[in-house]
Amino acid sequence: MASAYFLPAGDYRTSYRADTTIFPTRNSRIALWLGIAILACAPLALGRWELSLLINIGILGIAALGLNILVGFTGQISIGHAAFFGVGAFASAWLHEAFHIPVWACIPLAGAITALVGLVFGAPAARLKGLYLAIATLAAQFILEDFFARSAWFTGGVAGRITEPLTLFGYAFDSEETFFYVVLVAVIVMFTAAANLMRTRDGRALVAVRDHYLSAELMGINLAYYRTLSFGISSLFAGIGGALYAHYLLFVSVEAFNILFSIQFLGMVIIGGLGSIMGSLMGAAFMVLLPEAVQGLADLLAGSALDHALKIGASISYLREMAIGAAIILFLIFEPDGLAHRWRLIKAYWKLYPYSH
């Protein structure tokens, strides 16, 4: 779409390889490496609080990317994504506690377990579409949530489970400064994997299923196979995100993985941009930063003249919840293509300045 329009003159693609490259220009590649380098230096400049926000963005971004593959790229729907996120979190904690598998191995293993669980619960997707599928995934959410609350052997029951920090060669990644690098690596790996997946035959098949399932089937794409596979891939990402979350917070509890959290994931991919890899990260960033921004605003308001005039007082904290809801609605109305689209427009604006029209 938009990105294809703004290539420098004389940039002719003579091979499929050149056509499907992820970063089309030299500058975009430089920007990428520069961005990673800057992020790698972030722990030197930022405090624990800012780092924890970045870590949250990374973890939720990975899980949101999984949902985006399912919703944005395959055109399916899931309102049980938080439950899969939870499976990953509990599986990693359980693998470490029960089998003493090192945490760095638990995280990908938890991803694999979650992918299997996702395949099971994704089975109805082979036959169901739209609202019916939505309700089927809702069932997954409730079944898994109930399972978390009752299976004390797996989750520690309702009391939750204390998890151990990730250690590598005797070095514990138990602070924001260190765990940030774990998440950074995970984000790079998972996002590269997803971007590459979309360039493969399977990735294109997923997009074809989304764009028109009948045409896709006529072209020889096995609908049932790809729809179920999409659930598996989506759950894999959710599981890895969940496992990282478990070893970051050092505590997992069933209360975290409720349906509201699932809806929040849907919000992330819609706000970030359906069918956009980087959009998933932007959506996660939006969802993490918005409450903080509103909280900051509320803190500024507290005790001010406006506060006294309106007698907001203690209920100022509720402003936060309401503002989040309002922001999401406004976003859907004025920015339906998501942040990824807005980002492309901003890039084009700078590139073509002052002749943007």
Partner 1 sequence: MLKRTLLAAAAALAIALPAEAQNRIPVGHLMDNSGATSDVGVPYGQGVADALQWVNRTRNGVAGRQLDVSGFDYGYAAPRAVSQYQAWTGRQRVVAIQGWGTADTEALVRFVNRDRIPYISGSYSAALTDAGGKSGRQGVEAAPFNFFYGPSYSDALRAMLQWAKQDWESRGQQGRPKYVHMGANHPYPNSPKEAGETLARELGFDVLPAIQFALTPGDYTAQCLTLRQQGANYAYLGNTAGSNISVLRACHTAGVQVQFLGNVWGMDENAMKAAGEAANGVVFPVRTAAIWGQEAPGMATVREISRISDPSGNAYRPVHYLAGICAAMLMVEAMETAAEGGGQVTGERIREGFYARQNWVPRGFEGICNPSTFTNEDHRGTLRVALYRARVNGNTAQGSVGELMQAGTMRLEQVTTVELERRRDWLGW
Based on CB atoms, which residue is closest to partner 1, 37 or 314?
314
Site string for partner 1, 199-238 (x = CB under 8 A): ----------------------------------------
**Which member of 49, 153, 171, 355 binds partner 1 (CB under 8 A)?**
49
Based on CB atoms, which residue is closest to partner 1, 131 or 314?
314
Between CA 150 and CA 154, with CA 152 as vertex, the angle to 5 degrees is 105
CB of 48 to partner 1, least distance (A): 3
For position 159 contacting partner 1 by CB under 8 A, the verdict is yes
**Which member of 176, 267, 270, 338 binds partner 1 (CB under 8 A)?**
176
Give the count of beta carbons closer than 10 Å to the beta carbon of residue 334: 8
**Which member of 128, 134, 138, 149 binds partner 1 (CB under 8 A)?**
149
**C-alpha–C-alpha distance, residues 357 and 354, integer Å:** 9
**Which member of 120, 142, 192, 255 binds partner 1 (CB under 8 A)?**
255
Based on CB atoms, which residue is closest to partner 1, 179 or 191?
179
For position 284 contacting partner 1 by CB under 8 A, the verdict is no
CB of 100 to partner 1, least distance (A): 18
Based on CB atoms, which residue is closest to partner 1, 108 or 160?
160
Give the count of beta carbons closer than 10 Å to the beta carbon of residue 333: 8
| Only segment of 97-105, 152-160, 187-195, 279-287 that touches partner 1 (CB under 8 A) | 152-160
Residue 196 corresponds to which tokens in the numbers above?
A: 């590459």
For position 298 contacting partner 1 by CB under 8 A, the verdict is no
Beta bridge partners of 166: 173
C-alpha dihedral, 72 to 78 to 82 to 86, nearest 10°: -110
For position 351 contacting partner 1 by CB under 8 A, the verdict is no
**Structural element, H or E, at residue 172:** strand 171-173
Q: How many CA atoms lie within 13 A of 240 on its CB side?
A: 27
For position 153 contacting partner 1 by CB under 8 A, the verdict is no
**Backbone φ/ψ region at 170: left (φ over 0), alpha (ψ -120 to 50), beta:** left
**Range list of H helices, 172-222:** 176-197, 201-211, 213-218
**Which member of 155, 235, 253, 276 binds partner 1 (CB under 8 A)?**
253
CA distances (Å), 309 to each of 27, 286, 303, 317, in order? 52, 31, 10, 17
Size of the site for partner 1 (CB under 8 A): 26
Q: Taking a C-beta distance cutoff of 8 angstroms, is the pair 321, 313 a contact?
A: no
For position 250 contacting partner 1 by CB under 8 A, the verdict is yes
CB of 215 to partner 1, least distance (A): 41
SS3 162: strand
Rule CB under 8 A: which residues touch partner 1?
A: 47-49, 51-52, 56, 149-150, 157-160, 162, 176, 249-253, 255-256, 296, 300, 314, 317-318
